[in-house]
Amino acid sequence: MPRDLILILGGTAEAQAIAARLVAEGRRVLTSLAGRVASPKAPPGEVRVGGFGGPAGLETFLRTARVAALVDATHPFAAQISRNARLACDAAEVPRVQVRRAPWPRHPGDRWIATASVAEAAERLPETGRRAFLTVGVGELAPFRPLTQVWRLVRVVDPPAQPLLDGPHLTLAARGPFAEADELALLRAHAIDVLVTKHAGGAATYGKLAAARKLGIPVLMVERPPAEPGDTCAPDEAAGWVRKVVE
Ligand code: NAP
């Protein structure tokens, strides 16, 4: 049996768009989701949910599911699965591309403070502001938990069962995209004086940065991990890459 399945590692808006494009071209497409959010938006084509069991598990999956090519369209900060994909694809000799979003553009008036990690951003938070908006993802909140001297507004996808932070804070459950006008209203409503975010790139979550610029608010910006070695492409180049490597 020939290999004809395109496996997309997803969990992003870009992965959705790539799946739609490849399905429209008549490809057999399977999107893999980690299963972190309660009711993810279903992408076009087939979907599977949950980890593979490390690089070895993914390698087995690539072989048994007859994967012809893998498009790694995971979030820029999902470094582990991208590394696993490289190792598994190398072992199973499956072509792989890592989709890279363009970094957010920097404009005059932006007050970004680059940090190498989420932990460093948390360390610098108390000296940077008193009322913070945290948009780093639910899995990255641990270093912010004890910062009780800072009032924190935290945005996550799913409503949490337990408080996510100690001390004064408010949790908002919401799913992007987030428009600039709404972000501006949110920052104003809570008198936010510092924003904390990972440098994800992409349009869906850029609004908060434009809003922070308008209000002159500093942004603790966690820089991205580097891409894995190998092919990379922009989101709108992924379908062309598939055409090149698969008949
Ligand atoms: P990660 O740390 O790179 O991966 C941890 C483990 O989760 C992997 O080893 C793998 O388990 C499993 N996994 C991750 N992505 C998967 C996928 N698409 N399909 C199947 N298994 C997957 O990942 P993460 O940062 O927790 O991100 C998890 C998912 O959320 C990704 O799909 C990513 O695109 C999305 N996401 C992440 C962020 C972020 O800030 N990190 C933001 C928005 C969306 P096994 O080793 O068992 O295979």
Would you kindly state where each structural domain of the chain is located, as residue ranges? 5-101+226-245, 112-222
3-state percent breakdown (helix, strand, coil) of the chain, nearest 5:
35, 25, 45
Here the tokens at position 122 are 């948390």
Task: Report pLDDT for 40.
Answer: 83
CATH 3.40.50.720 fits 112-222, yes or no: yes
Q: What would the DSSP string read from start to end of 40-59?
A: PPPPSSEEEES--SHHHHHH
Residue 189 alpha carbon to ligand 1 centre in Å:
33
112-160 tens-digit pLDDT: 999 999 999 999 999 999 999 999 999 999 999 999 999 999 999 999 9
Query: Candidates 74, 100, 101, 199: which one to mutate for ligand 1, based on the most atoms within 8 Å of Cβ?
Result: 74
Ranges under pLDDT 50 in the chain? none
Neighbours of 106 (CB within 10 A): 11
Return the SS3 of 221: strand
36-46 tens-digit pLDDT: 888 888 899 99
Residue 90 alpha carbon to ligand 1 centre in Å:
19
The C-alpha atoms of residue 15 and residue 75 are separated, in whole angstroms, by 9
- CA dihedral sign of residues 201, 205, 206, 212: negative
Query: Candidates 61, 80, 178, 221: which one to mutate for ligand 1, based on the most atoms within 8 Å of Cβ?
Result: 80
The yes-or-no answer to whether 5-101+226-245 and 112-222 have a common fold is yes
Task: Report pLDDT for 110.
Answer: 98
Task: Report pLDDT for 204.
Answer: 86
Task: Report pLDDT for 113.
Answer: 98
Strands 28-33 and 46-49: parallel
Residue 123 alpha carbon to ligand 1 centre in Å:
25
The C-alpha atoms of residue 172 and residue 5 are separated, in whole angstroms, by 38
Q: Whose CA is nearest to atom 30 of ligand 1?
A: 11
What is the reported pTM? 0.94
**Multiple choice CATH, 5-101+226-245, 3.40.50.720, 3.30.70.250, 3.40.50.10860, 3.90.580.10:** 3.40.50.720
* Residues within 6 Å of ligand 1 by CB: 9-12, 32-34, 36, 51-54, 57-58, 74-75, 77-81, 84, 137, 139, 198
Residue 229 alpha carbon to ligand 1 centre in Å:
18
